[in-house]
């Protein structure tokens, strides 16, 4: 067997001449559930403000007018969204798309250097930011020579924005300006016209901009809808997985592909309501679930662990929850079983995907209320999988090998990076870098990670990126970063470090200097990287880093060393 095809549904016709906002706001899709007039699209968590679809259309129109007239935003200009979740986040996305522009979402916890890297890589023309991230935005913009006038700010209750240009200001001004000319796609152009430059570490190396065309997001929404029989009369109303009027938690960051595609666009397509929460705080999340009568949770493993183990859970009535999806990283069997027992009536399961496939490749079967513990679900309609064994031959059911997928949602490649594209995107297929097997019943099981990328709290962390930062420390002569298992985060980075000759000599004269050096290295990484990239696994000093004759790091050897250290914390390498 050379290829395994999805069997979970029939892929509907995917429009290839629509932009994302045209599909979401304008297109009369015969398969889309009808949104009742009294069901809002979004709810602002802090204020309870309800935002309905007509208002989203109007705000998108107004902002697009302003960006066109006042900022001369044009075809293929990139706008970088550097913000926490906000009810105007989709408005900003769709306004830029209406003009033929491209959105590049960025993590609002980035430091100035990390943001500068993304600004340079995308050649962004504008930044739309959250007030909390304004200082970082200004610093990064200054470093690349961007005018402060090219920084716009989302409106946040209580934030001082008196001297700033806000999105709300622009929406109001845009409503009085001459209407822009909307960018219409030619037949087939949706397959090539870029919508997003979303950053991923790929299978190796530093972050790269994944070039995602409009059709990729549209296709993935329709793939998931077909898989879940959305708008079909396949079960009693109470047992249907997605229903108009259901209310979903919107705490997943919208700069992450999981939050952007699944938690926002897919749920809006389903005529559901998304409660937009700017920043994750567990007990506040519980309060929001009760306050807004939330029925659907889209979460990552650390949040699932807290649901199972945090003492605050007992204080809240969570009986209204009828759906929990866990994505971005595998979940342990122990946590799965605990979730099953805590929410006995809820649909609970996992999905699998990546930025390079514009999110979901598999999700648990609609025929099962509970996904298999440890399973990543069934391939969604339109996905074709290959299992490439270590000898390069193609496997079949129950064979273990690298998962390679072809799907209508696949990205085009890495933006302005031909070499990285060549390594991951091959003739329409995406090499996932994950070792898997698919059983005869169609279930996908993730066995191991072939690629070097770590998954920390669902976020990608490239060891090479951290190694580059570590080598900037004056006392580090060589280093290798590996992931170690962590119940809460999935895995965390651990750095093996070889000291410089001078640093090693100082340690010999005074052993206490070793701990001071360790603390200095940890602080160096913390000062230069976003929180989830910090060395939570610690620093271990070694005499040398094992390498192949050609100089390639033998990372697997050090992973085994890390396992030994965990078994015997006082053992010395």
Higher pLDDT, 461 or 70: 70
Question: Which of 167 and 2 is assigned the larger pLDDT?
Answer: 167
Q: Contact, 33 vs 14, CB < 8 A? A: no
Residues 129, 149, single domain; the answer is yes
What is the distance between the alpha carbons of residues 318 and 315, in angstroms, rounded to a whole number? 9
pTM for the complete prediction?
0.85
Q: Count other C-beta atoms under 10 Å from residue 571's C-beta.
A: 10
Sign of CA dihedral 376, 337, 230, 269: negative
Q: Are residues 413 and 510 part of one domain? A: no
40 is a domain residue = no
Q: Which residues lie below 8 Å from residue 402, measured CB to CB, with a gap of 6+? A: 387, 388, 431, 432, 433, 434, 435, 436, 450
Query: Based on the domain organization, do 140 and 245 belong to the same domain?
Result: no
Largest CA distance in the chain: 76
Scanning the structure block, which residue is given the tokens 């209580």? 158
Q: Which helix (H) or strand (E) holds 288?
A: helix 282-291
Contact 406, 416 (CB under 8 A): no
Domain count along the chain: 3
Give domain status of residue 415, yes or no. yes
- Same domain, yes or no: 355 and 479: no
| pLDDT for residue 549 | 55
Report yes or no: 432 and 425 within 8 Å, Cβ to Cβ: no
pLDDT of 374: 86
Domain with 490 in it: what CATH number?
A: 3.30.300.30
Q: What size, in residues, is the chain?
A: 573
- Whether residue 22 is contained in a domain is answered as no
Task: Please check whether residues 415 and 276 belong to one and the same domain.
Answer: yes
Last residue of a domain, one of 153, 184, 215: 184
For residues 143 and 254, membership in a common domain is answered with: no
**CA–CA gap between residue 260 and residue 104 (Å, rounded):** 12
- Average pLDDT over the chain, rounded to an integer: 92
Residue 111 dihedral angles phi and psi, to the nearest 5°: -85, 175
458 in the same domain as 443:
no
Domain boundary among 432, 449, 466: 449
pLDDT in tens, 259-289: 999 999 999 999 999 999 999 999 999 999 9
Question: What digits encode the pLDDT tens for the residues 496-526?
Answer: 999 998 899 999 999 899 999 999 999 999 9
Question: Which residues constitute the domain of residue 70?
Answer: 52-184
- Are 172 and 310 in the same domain? no
Taking only the tens place, the pLDDT of each residue in 398-414 is: 999 999 999 999 999 99
Q: Are residues 492 and 434 in the same domain?
A: no
- Kindly state whether residues 319 and 244 are assigned to the same domain: yes
Say if residue 550's pLDDT is above 50: no
Task: Assess whether 503 and 406 both reside in one domain.
Answer: no
Quick one: average pLDDT of 149-165? 88
The two three-digit tokens of residue 540, written as one number: 């271990």
CATH of the domain at 150: 3.40.50.980
Q: Is residue 266 part of a domain?
A: yes
The DSSP 8-state label assigned to residue 204 in this structure reads S
Residue 412 sits in the same domain as residue 486: no
Among 414, 429, 449, the domain boundary falls at 449
Going through 315-374 in order, the beta strands assigned E by DSSP cover 323-326, 347-354, 359-363
Assigned domain for 34 exists: no
pLDDT tens readout for residues 207-249: 899 999 999 999 999 999 999 999 999 999 999 999 999 999 9
What's the average model confidence in pLDDT over 307-331? 90
| Number of other residues whose CB lies within 10 A of the CB of residue 7 | 11
Q: What integer is the mean pLDDT of 24-36? A: 94
pLDDT digits (tens, 9 = 90+) for 465-502: 888 788 889 999 888 999 988 878 888 999 999 999 88
What pLDDT sits at residue 554?
A: 77
Where does the pLDDT of residue 571 fall: very low under 50, low under 70, confident under 90, or very high at 90 and above?
very low
Structure-token match 């000291």, residue found: 499
């Amino acid at each position: 067997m050379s290829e395994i095809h999805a069997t979970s549904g029939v892929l509907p016709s995917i429009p290839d001449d629509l932009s994302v906002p045209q599909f979401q706001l304008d297109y009369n899709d015969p398969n889309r559930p009808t949104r009742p007039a009294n069901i809002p699209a979004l709810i602002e968590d802090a204020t309870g403000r309800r935002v309905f679809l007509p208002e989203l259309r109007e705000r998108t129109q107004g902002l697009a007018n302003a960006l066109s007239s006042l900022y001369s935003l044009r075809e293929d200009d990139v706008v970088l969204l550097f913000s926490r979740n906000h009810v105007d986040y989709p408005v900003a996305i769709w306004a830029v798309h209406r003009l033929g522009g491209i959105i590049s979402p960025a993590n609002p916890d980035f430091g100035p250097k990390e943001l500068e890297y993304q600004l340079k890589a995308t050649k962004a023309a504008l930044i739309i930011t959250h007030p909390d991230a304004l200082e970082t935005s200004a610093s990064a913009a200054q470093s690349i020579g961007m005018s402060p006038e090219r920084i716009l700010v989302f409106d946040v209750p209580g934030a001082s924005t008196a001297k700033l240009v806000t999105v709300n200001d622009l929406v109001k001004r845009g409503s009085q300006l001459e209407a822009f000319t909307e960018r219409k796609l030619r037949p087939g152009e949706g397959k090539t016209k870029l919508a997003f430059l979303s950053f991923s570490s790929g299978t190796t190396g530093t972050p790269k901009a994944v070039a995602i065309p409009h059709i990729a997001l549209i296709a993935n929404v329709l793939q998931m809808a077909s898989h879940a029989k959305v708008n079909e009369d396949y079960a009693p109303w109470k047992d249907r997985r997605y229903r108009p009027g259901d209310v979903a938690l919107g705490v997943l960051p919208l700069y992450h592909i999981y939050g952007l595609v699944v938690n926002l666009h897919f749920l809006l397509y389903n005529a559901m309501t998304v409660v937009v929460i700017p920043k994750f705080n567990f007990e506040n999340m519980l309060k929001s679930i009760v306050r807004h009568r939330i029925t659907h949770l889209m979460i990552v493993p650390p949040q699932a662990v807290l649901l199972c183990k945090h003492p605050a859970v007992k204080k809240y009535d969570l009986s209204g929850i009828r759906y929990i999806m866990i994505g971005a990283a595998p979940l342990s069997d122990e946590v799965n079983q605990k979730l099953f027992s805590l929410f006995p009536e809820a649909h609970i399961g996992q999905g699998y995907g990546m930025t390079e496939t514009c999110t979901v490749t598999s999700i648990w079967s609609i025929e099962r209320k509970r996904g298999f513990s440890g399973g990543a679900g069934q391939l969604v309609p339109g996905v074709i999988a290959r299992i490439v064994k270590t000898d390069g031959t193609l496997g079949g059911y129950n064979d273990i090998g690298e998962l390679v997928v072809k799907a209508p949602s696949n990205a085009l490649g890495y933006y302005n990076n031909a070499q990285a594209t060549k390594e991951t995107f091959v003739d329409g297929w995406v090499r996932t870098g994950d070792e898997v097997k698919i059983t005869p019943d169609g279930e996908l099981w993730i066995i191991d990670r072939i690629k070097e990328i770590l998954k920390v709290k669902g976020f990608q962390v490239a060891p090479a990126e951290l190694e580059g930062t570590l080598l900037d420390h004056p006392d580090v002569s060589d280093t290798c970063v590996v992931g170690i298992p962590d119940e809460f985060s999935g895995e965390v980075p651990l750095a093996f470090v070889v000291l410089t000759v001078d640093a090693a000599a100082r340690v010999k004269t005074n052993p206490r200097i070793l701990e001071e050096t360790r603390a200095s290295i940890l602080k160096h990484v913390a000062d230069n990287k976003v929180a989830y990239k910090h060395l939570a696994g610690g620093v271990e000093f070694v005499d040398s880093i094992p390498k192949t004759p050609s100089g390639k790091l033998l990372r697997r050897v050090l992973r085994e060393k890390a396992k030994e250290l965990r078994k015997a914390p006082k053992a010395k390498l």
